[in-house]
Structure 1
Amino acid sequence: MKQFFQKKGVTLSIKVYLIDGLSYMALGLFSSLIIGLIIKTVGEQIQTLLPTVSTYLIDMGALAMGLMGPAIGVAVAYGLKAPPLVIFSALIAGAAGAPLGGPAGSFIAALIATEVGKLVSKETKVDILVTPFVTIASGFLIAAFVGPPISGGLHYFGSVIIWATEQQPIIMGIIVAVLMGWALTAPISAAAIAIMLQLDGIAAGAATIGCAAQMVGFAVSSYRENKTSGLLALGIGTSMLQVANIVKKPIIILPPTIAAVIVAPFATTIFQMTNVPEGAGMGTSGFVGQIMTFTSMGFSAVVFLKVVILHIVAPAVISLLLSEWMRKKGYIQLGDMKINTGGE
């Protein structure tokens, strides 16, 4: 049985499912729900200025958002290296999970359907019928019976986090910021976690601070090693590029983490920064976290200034000062944060 599973590429590895599965789920989310929300938001903002263009953008965004389930299904199946028939059928599994269990339902349905589909793929002479049927049927059953309680449990946990952050904005704000920031930097998807938990309000605002602090913090702290290409790759790409360096020298994660600890209480109390689930786990990646903050708080000069200070300037200054102090003390050496960007 073990050899058969290996032959079929079914690992039954929680690590693979949490890392590869969630990472590709995030790509599916970004290619549908998140980019759709951005397009729709832009359309709504220019409604009075360009009504015709606005209508197209709103319709386009709504369509992309509505295809979240299929996008997650295909993304997860592709990430798990499924054969073509399984990938195409996983689209249906993801679609089945969305209305019953939201993003979590789509993810679970697509994940299990993909692994089951891989087991039967190319095992019969009528593979073109058996593989799609088994993949779709297993995904549909999982979506119907497992998706709703899992999604409900995640939403409940998310609501507890939101409630606790509102009751204890300083302590919980710090905890949420640090944990979500670490999730963003680790090889798992903070965006997928935020959306599955439906983080909202100041809890989502704290999560954004933590994620932004990791990205901006690493970008400026490692500038002498990585120059402009690294600044851009880490600052508006992903701090995940530092994972290998963190494993070798964990202490380098302290400057951006401490920056999150310092900034988060200001965001949850004085400035009352909020966000929506789609932006909570994005940090400064493509500036989605900032765009979604405007979606949550509205766009004004005051909000823009808050975003620039709390998401970019404060984490950058704090991380740079701490990292330079640690370099002088010998805790961080030149080359400890060097990444391979393919650029300069």
Structure 2
Amino acid sequence: MLSFLRRKGVTLSAFDYFIKALQFMALGLFSTLIIGLIIETIGTKLHVPFLIEMGTLAKSLMGPGIGAAVAYGLKAPPLVIFAAIISGAAGASLGGPVGSYVAAVLSTEIGKMVHNETKLDIILTPLTTILVGYSVATFLGPPLHQLLTSFGALVNWSTSQQPFVLGILVAALMGLALTAPISSAAISLMLGLEGSAAGAATIGCAAQMIGFGVSSYRENGVGGLLAIGLGTSMLQVGNIIKNPLILIPPTIAGIVLAPIGTILLPMSNNAAGAGMGTSGLVGPMMTFAVMGFGMDVWIKIALLHFIGPAMISLLLSEWMRKKGFIKYGDLKIRTESHSD
């Protein structure tokens, strides 16, 4: 059986299912729901119906996008990938993002097992993939979706009740998830973060990206600043493994700024923006979508998403360099540290 699974590319690996598949799920989310929200927000602001309709269509294809992305990430053959589009759609309609993810993973792996095993492959492979995906979506999607959304609702409620402590906790954990090789965007969508909890998560994620970008400027220059600050702080994962202390400045920045964003300068966001930070400016754009485009919102975003993280991280990282905790080259990004 193990030999058969290896031959079919079914790894039974926790890394593949809970890290790699989530990373590709995030790509599916960004290519549909998140970019759709951005287009819709721009269209609404500029009063352009064409853009609003385009964004609405993109958002509606979240499930198929997740299905195709997860199947592709798990190295499925073409027939399985195309059928997984249906699995993802079924999962999304019955169990939200988590239903789409689970249906796509399970149907993809079973579809891979069936692929090329009979002369009726053109029928049996997509049939099996769709049958498994729809069955999983029907029986597992709703309870899993209810479980995660209930937990997310608890986080949202708790943050509004205890904005200081819970704001710090949400910002720190979501920020670390963004930098780690897992998908903070997928986690945020699955939990349905919103309101002040989503605002704190955005601050924590932005602190990691802007913080690492500024802290590593002397090693990586403008290119590194943009790649990390507007791309992903996962570029630093290899360096974190070598010297975990480099995590301290951006994480502290998120911890310091989160209570400001939940108490003094209240910030809100939605689930699509909460786990993205400043990546592609999605976090700030979704903040505008939720809070409006008033001057006070511009100031809050500038202070809590960009200026604050940059200043705190730079001061802490420079102090740590003087003390020898961080050495020149510890934050240098290299091509082999790039994440999918």
Q: Trace 1:1-344 onto structure 2 (pairs within 5 A).
A: 1-47=1-47, 54-340=48-334
* Deviations 1:201-250, CA, capped at 9 Å, x for gaps: 00000000000000000000000000011000000000000001001110
* Deviations 1:2-33, CA, capped at 9 Å, x for gaps: 11111111111222111110000000000000
User: Does the 8 Å CA contact 1:229/1:341 hold for their aligned counterparts?
Assistant: no
Q: Secondary structure at the match of 2:156?
A: helix
Aligned-pair distance for 1:341?
5.7
* Deviations 1:134-167, CA, capped at 9 Å, x for gaps: 0000000000000110011000010011111111
Equivalent AA in structure 2 for residue 29 of structure 1: L
Q: Secondary structure at the match of 1:269?
A: helix
Equivalent AA in structure 1 for residue 7 of structure 2: K
User: Does the 8 Å CA contact 1:93/1:140 hold for their aligned counterparts?
Assistant: yes
Cα distance in 1 for residues equivalent to 2:16 and 2:252: 30
Cα distance in 2 for residues equivalent to 1:43 and 1:321: 40
Cα distance in 1 for residues equivalent to 2:271 and 2:322: 39
Aligned-pair distance for 1:55?
1.0
Cα distance in 2 for residues equivalent to 1:267 and 1:139: 41
Unaligned runs of 5+ in 1: 48-53
Cα distance in 2 for residues equivalent to 1:321 and 1:3: 54
Cα distance in 1 for residues equivalent to 2:243 and 2:34: 34
Equivalent AA in structure 1 for residue 2 of structure 2: K
User: Does the 8 Å CA contact 1:279/1:293 hold for their aligned counterparts?
Assistant: yes
Cα distance in 2 for residues equivalent to 1:55 and 1:119: 45
Cα distance in 1 for residues equivalent to 2:314 and 2:335: 21
Equivalent AA in structure 2 for residue 8 of structure 1: K
User: Does the 8 Å CA contact 1:191/1:278 hold for their aligned counterparts?
Assistant: yes
* Deviations 1:58-91, CA, capped at 9 Å, x for gaps: 1101100000000000000000000010000000
Larger deviation: 97-106 or 324-333?
Answer: 97-106
The share of aligned pairs that are identical, in percent, is: 62
Cα distance in 2 for residues equivalent to 1:170 and 1:219: 26
Q: Secondary structure at the match of 1:339?
A: coil
Cα distance in 1 for residues equivalent to 2:159 and 2:118: 54
* Deviations 1:267-305, CA, capped at 9 Å, x for gaps: 000111000000000000010000000011111111001
Aligned-pair distance for 1:340?
2.2
How many residue pairs end up in the alignment? Answer: 336
Cα distance in 2 for residues equivalent to 1:43 and 1:312: 25
Unaligned runs of 5+ in 2: none
Cα distance in 1 for residues equivalent to 2:83 and 2:132: 11
Equivalent AA in structure 1 for residue 269 of structure 2: N
Cα distance in 2 for residues equivalent to 1:273 and 1:301: 14
TM-score (norm 1): 0.97
Cα distance in 2 for residues equivalent to 1:188 and 1:123: 33
Larger deviation: 332-341 or 69-78?
Answer: 332-341
Cα distance in 1 for residues equivalent to 2:266 and 2:223: 33
Cα distance in 2 for residues equivalent to 1:118 and 1:189: 24
Cα distance in 2 for residues equivalent to 1:98 and 1:326: 46
User: Does the 8 Å CA contact 1:233/1:341 hold for their aligned counterparts?
Assistant: no
User: Does the 8 Å CA contact 1:230/1:341 hold for their aligned counterparts?
Assistant: no
Cα distance in 2 for residues equivalent to 1:28 and 1:161: 25
Following TM superposition, the consecutive aligned residue runs of length 4 or more in structure 1 with deviations greater than 2 angstroms are: none
Cα distance in 1 for residues equivalent to 2:335 and 2:32: 27
